[in-house]
Amino acid sequence: MKNNSHYLDALLQGNSKDIQILYEKNFPMVKKFILQNKGNHEDAEDIFQKALLQMVVRYQKEKFVIKTSFGAYLFTVCKNLWRRELNKSKKKVTNQEVKELKGEEHNFAMAILEQKRWELFTEKLALLSENCKKILNLFFAKTPYDKIVVEMQYNTETVARQRVFKCKKKLKELITKDKRYNSLFEL
């Protein structure tokens, strides 16, 4: 099996053979995800290309290391780019003029920074205790407190709130201590 940096190098060099391998191995799953989430085949093609290019640009600047399998990483990049696409309308309403002025490359660069922030946040979330991970996942998925109480077998909502508060505090500490955070936080 070829290692992750092999594919990153291959992308950087525009190696046709390896790009085809990446398509064969990963495009069907990405397409399936996008079709299941309000997208069509063209969206899948567009997102997949953007994801590959995002990795090229990022790898050109910093030799980042992929800790999961290459396929799993590529999938999360695609998934996040699609989340970004689906939520764009929300942003357009509030900031249309600014967005139009900034153009394609700005959008592209922002997607990289947002991806990096997502990586930082999820990486730190993974370091928490199983209990904290579970309750925070429920919390971020907007699960109402009464349901969190049932799911986590707490006595009251107050206990659940305190637990969320503590776990979130721990998560924020881990994030802010990481040196990557400074360049990824903005007001």
Partner 1 sequence: MKLEDDILIEKYLRGTLSKDELSVISKRIKNDDDFKKKVAFEKQLFETLNDDDWSFMEGEEAPEATLYKKIYKSDAVKKVKETIQQENQKYQNRKRTLFKRKFFYMGAAVIALLISLYLFSPKSSYSSEKLYTQYIESTDLPSLVTREQGENVLAKGQAFFEAKAYEKAIPIFKNRLKLNNNATVYLYLGISQMELNRFSESEKTFNSLINSNLLDAPKGKWYKALLYLKMKKIKKSKLLLKEIITTKSYNFQQAQELLGKLP
Q: Which of 112, 128, 149, 152 binds partner 1 (CB under 8 A)?
A: 112
Binding segment (CB under 8 A) for partner 1, from list 7-15, 66-74, 148-156:
7-15
State yes or no: residue 38 binds partner 1 (CB under 8 A).
no
In single-letter form, the type of residue at position 114 comes to E
Residue 91: C-alpha distances to residues 11, 56, 94, 97, 126 (Å): 31, 26, 5, 11, 29
Question: What's the closest the beta carbon of residue 47 comes to partner 1, in angstroms?
Answer: 11
Binding segment (CB under 8 A) for partner 1, from list 1-9, 66-74, 78-86, 146-154:
78-86
Q: Which of 109, 127, 150, 173 binds partner 1 (CB under 8 A)?
A: 109
CB contact at 8 A, 43 and 85:
yes
Question: Residue 15: is it exposed, middle or buried by C-beta count within 10 angstroms (0-12/13-18/19+)?
Answer: middle
Binding footprint of partner 1, residue count (CB under 8 A): 58
State yes or no: residue 80 binds partner 1 (CB under 8 A).
yes
Report the C-alpha gap between 61 and 140 in whole angstroms: 32
Report the C-alpha gap between 175 and 48 in whole angstroms: 29
State yes or no: residue 98 binds partner 1 (CB under 8 A).
yes
In single-letter form, the type of residue at position 13 comes to Q
CB contact at 8 A, 39 and 90:
no
Give whichever of 65 and 126 is closer to partner 1, judged by the CB atom.
126
Report the C-alpha gap between 12 and 14 in whole angstroms: 5
Binding segment (CB under 8 A) for partner 1, from list 1-9, 51-59, 66-74, 147-155:
51-59
Report the C-alpha gap between 23 and 58 in whole angstroms: 20
| Residues forming the site for partner 1 (CB under 8 A) | 11-14, 16, 19-20, 23-24, 27, 45, 48-49, 52-53, 56-58, 60-61, 80, 83-84, 86-87, 91, 95, 98, 105-106, 108-110, 112-114, 117-118, 121-122, 125, 136-137, 140-142, 161-162, 165, 168-169, 171-172, 183-187
